[in-house]
């Protein structure tokens, strides 16, 4: 991000209530494991203030496989972005076209950062991400999903990244 030719626009994405909102139908249709066991896990519910609450959607809070299911639900997002920004006319992916839109992607749990060459590309990235999330019952948080110029800086995983005079500064936020 510190090079002169580096992308200047950042999509800071946050998936709204990711683990609470994942569609049970999508999970059951898409995750390759014993469906009976998976259904039992999803319907196990959660306990709060000594009361058991059922779960109709999402994964049980603190469930041992909830993070795995969350990652499985978001697996494929990078390919969706690649198909839109790096695909050839024959449908194959060609990452050598990476400089065309300067789209790069990194995600940790439900927080993600995607680089772009322009604000227009950044908005298109948001559309691609939302189209990927829709069948899973998920949405980008309108409040926390931002398009930012690298010179203004962006936050990711407790760090602030900002480009100033061709130098990338990284500080805790």
SS3 138: coil
Instruction: Mark whether 37 and 90 lie in a shared domain.
Output: no
Distance CA 32, CA 14 (A): 26
Residue 166 φ/ψ region, left for φ over 0, alpha for ψ in the -120 to 50 degree band, beta for the rest: left
Instruction: Mark whether 55 and 139 lie in a shared domain.
Output: no
pLDDT tens digits, one per residue of 5-57: 889 999 999 999 998 899 999 999 999 999 999 998 888 887 889 998 888 88
In a domain, 1, yes or no: no
In a domain, 149, yes or no: yes
pLDDT tens digits, one per residue of 115-129: 999 999 999 999 999
Distance CA 164, CA 39 (A): 51
pLDDT tens digits, one per residue of 65-118: 888 999 999 999 999 999 998 887 787 777 665 557 789 999 998 899 999 999
> The domain containing residue 25 runs over which residues?
21-72
Sign of CA dihedral 62, 64, 67, 73: negative
Q: Nearest 5 degrees, angle CA 3-CA 107-CA 37?
A: 165
Total domains in the fold of the chain? 2
In a domain, 64, yes or no: yes
Residue pair 78/114 in contact by the 8 Å Cβ criterion = no
The overall pTM is greater than 0.85: yes
Residue pair 137/143 in contact by the 8 Å Cβ criterion = no
Q: What is the CATH number of the domain that holds 145?
A: 3.30.70
Instruction: Mark whether 93 and 157 lie in a shared domain.
Output: yes
């Amino acid at each position: 991000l510190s090079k002169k030719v580096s992308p200047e626009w950042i999509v800071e994405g946050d998936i709204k209530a990711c683990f609470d909102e994942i569609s049970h139908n999508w999970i059951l249709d898409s995750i390759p494991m014993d469906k009976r066991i998976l259904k039992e896990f999803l319907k196990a519910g959660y306990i709060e203030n000594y009361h058991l609450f059922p779960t109709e959607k999402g994964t049980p809070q603190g469930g041992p496989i909830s993070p795995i299911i969350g990652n499985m639900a978001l697996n494929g997002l990078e390919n969706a972005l690649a198909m839109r920004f790096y695909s050839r006319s024959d449908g194959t992916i060609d990452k050598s076209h990476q400089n065309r839109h300067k789209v790069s992607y990194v995600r940790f749990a439900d927080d993600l950062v995607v680089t772009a060459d322009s604000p227009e590309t950044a908005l298109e990235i948001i559309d691609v991400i939302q189209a990927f999330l829709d069948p899973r019952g998920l949405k980008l948080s309108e409040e926390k999903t931002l398009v930012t110029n690298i010179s203004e800086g962006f936050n990711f995983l407790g760090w602030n990244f900002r480009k100033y005079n061709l130098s990338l500064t990284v500080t805790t936020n």
